[in-house]
Structure 1
């Protein structure tokens, strides 16, 4: 009697043959090193460009309200160059950092560590003012304002969580159906709660400190920022269990950002009087909403690619079945 052929089926998770090596699911050292170096160099540049370009749009919005000039005339001026070049190039560079997750998750994980620095700066106003004072005069203020508006804090924290999602997906590429369906609700809720806490901390902390020149550190603000950043990281990391759960936040972010770009769309009343709403509006005005949407959308594609490749690696090439184990007549037919 021939043995059970399932004993040779590695695709179903059976034990491999004696002496067989488990297929490697992680990235190589070279890929990790290159992605880390690329992320360390490109991510700050991309974030600064987004803050610079978004700052140009915020200045126009504050001075003119909703833009009265035709959009074509606006984009041909100096402010238009700042907006298009800053936001456009910054988004492309940031998307390229997320795309390096195909090669290795290390770069995105390092970006998440960079988010800790942004968290400390946002939580400690005196440190934020020290950065303002120590920065050379040639650096545009819009770039420094990005810290107060939460651009590096939100973007870098989310990217770090996405890196963790890729780490898990490389080892366990197939999420359970129940977890995948639950994630369609859990992931957006976690991201929404995290963003709300972060904007609450920024509105009562960094933004208030910049307006009032107050350097005191509030324990409540620190708690809001820390808990909000943690939820953002966890929500992004949970995308591993629900690969398409990030599409809903992408739609919401793009829709909310559109409200600040189209004059005919009304804004909620009292948005500029509530500190939390003010922080959220400032984040969207400076391009943070569009940048986050781009990050989540690119990650969705990267995650699908990584899961497909990890499944193929774990499945392996398939071992050759010994002739003695083949059904009777098979050896003669193939001989």
Structure 2
């Protein structure tokens, strides 16, 4: 009876080529659709607020938009869960971030997108580019893929000091990142559409780039501090509950210069709820991947006894 070698055990537990391919296909297809559904449902919420200042005729007209948002969030959560099998899908989504990043850096592309993509995609999906929704999700998911790939290779549990530092650093990095992103989007994309000024703005581009890098760094902190995203997730859930009283959102966040033009709208669009749930699910995924990787390492380090060598038989 053959015995499995340590190398065989490790190979069985690594992500297979098929798993990588499947997760890439799932992530690349589902993530843009999920973001589009989130934008479709959230845009109806925004229109209702701007028209009526509240929920209008009650919650009835907002039922379908809310379901679209919920479906989009569930799909995004499903993409994060694929990280249990392979990091490839999340890494592929990170590569897709170059597309919304180009729109944020060069507002002139927005006008072209409405002309070219308008007959193909729902108008609300293109509006999602204007609000910068993909730019919030795609880099974060890509950073999650990097963390999981790193954890699979080096699953050692981080030192206590690093874990504590991560709990403090992650919220700071994420808040600074989203604020710079919101400022850059408002300064660049919103100004372009509202004033028909589609020139390249260096300050807006710099804010978008630095904000994206800070947001990525905030997620990457989970490499050393697994629970670093829990506090930001809880804060986002609390903030998202204010969607039931949108006047409070605009009165508290709307007064911030430039940033107030985008942050309240992102909350109503459901971005806060979505990213909060993604953070929490990703925390569970990291724990699962690290536990599995540690098992693989222990199996690889097991010394199996070798079979005894007997002298060759001698004919009588």
1:286-305 → structure 2 map (5 Å cutoff): 286-305=269-288
Aligned partners of 1:132, 1:95: CA distance in 2, in Å? Answer: 29
Residue equivalent to 2:291: 308
> Residue 161 of structure 1 contacts residue 235 of structure 1 at CA under 8 Å; is this kept in 2?
no
> CA offsets, 1:184-224, max 9 Å, x none?
01111111111111111011111121211211110111111
Question: Which residue matches 2:108?
Answer: 126
Task: Tell me whether 1:277 sits opposite 2:246 in the alignment.
Answer: no
Alignment counterpart, residue 218 of structure 1, candidates 192, 201, 213: 201
2:133 corresponds to 1:145: no
Q: How far does residue 282 in structure 1 lie from its aligned partner after superposition?
A: 1.6
Q: Matches of residues 162-311 of structure 1 in structure 2 within 5 Å?
A: 162-173=144-155, 174-262=157-245, 265=248, 267-269=250-252, 271=254, 274-311=257-294
| CA–CA distance in structure 1, aligned partners of residues 123 and 144 of structure 2 | 30
Indicate if the aligned counterparts of 1:48 and 1:146 stay in contact, CA closer than 8 A. yes
CA contact (8 A) 2:48 2:56 kept: no
Q: Does 1:31 align with 2:9?
A: no
1:319 counterpart = 2:303 = yes
Task: Say whether the 8 Å CA contact 1:259–1:267 is kept in structure 2.
Answer: no
Of 28, 36, 44, which residue of structure 2 is paired with 1:48? 36
- The separation in 1 between residues aligned to 2:74 and 2:91, in whole angstroms, is 19
Structure 1, gaps ≥5 residues long:
1-18, 325-335
Q: Cα deviation per residue 1:58-105 (whole Å; 9 max; x = unaligned)?
A: 1111111122544xxx23x3x421x12310111111111110000000
- How does the TM-score come out when normalised to structure 2? 0.88
Distance in 1, matches of 2:291 and 2:232, equals 24
CA–CA distance in structure 2, aligned partners of residues 52 and 269 of structure 1: 25
Q: Secondary structure at the match of 1:185?
A: helix
Aligned equivalents of 2:119 and 2:247: distance in 1? 38
CA distance in structure 2 between the aligned counterparts of 1:202 and 1:148, rounded to whole angstroms: 8
Q: Does the 8 A contact of 1:113 with 1:160 survive in 2? A: yes
C-alpha separation between the residues in 1 aligned to 2:202 and 2:160?
Answer: 41
Residues 26, 171 of structure 1: 8 Å contact kept: no
| Total equivalences in the alignment | 300
Q: 1:273 to 1:63 in 2, by over 3 A?
A: farther
Q: For 1:241 and 1:266, locate their aligned partners in 2 and report how far apart those are by CA, in whole Å.
A: 34
| Residue aligning to 1:333 | none
1:91-146 deviation per Cα after TM superposition (whole angstroms, max 9, x unaligned):
11111111000000010011111112111111211111100111234643221111
Question: Any stretches of 5+ residues in structure 2 without a counterpart?
Answer: 309-316
- 3-state SS of 2:244 partner: coil
SS of the residue aligned with 2:243?
A: coil
The answer (yes or no) to whether the contact 2:250–2:264 under 8 Å persists in 1 is no
Partner SS for 1:259: helix
Please report the RMSD computed on the Cα atoms of aligned residues, expressed in angstroms: 2.3
- Is the 2:40–2:124 Cα contact (8 Å) retained in structure 1? yes
Whole-angstrom distance in 2 between the partners of 1:195 and 1:31: 33
Question: 1:273–1:306: structure 2 CA closer, same or farther, 3 Å change rule?
Answer: closer
- Please state whether the residue corresponding to 2:181 is helix, strand or coil: helix
**In structure 2, do the counterparts of structure 1 residues 32 and 197 end up closer, same or farther at CA, with 3 Å as the change threshold?**
same
- Superposition deviation, residue 172 in structure 1: 1.6
In 1, Cα distance between the equivalents of 2:296 and 2:15?
A: 12
* 1: CA distance, partners of 2:253 / 2:295: 53
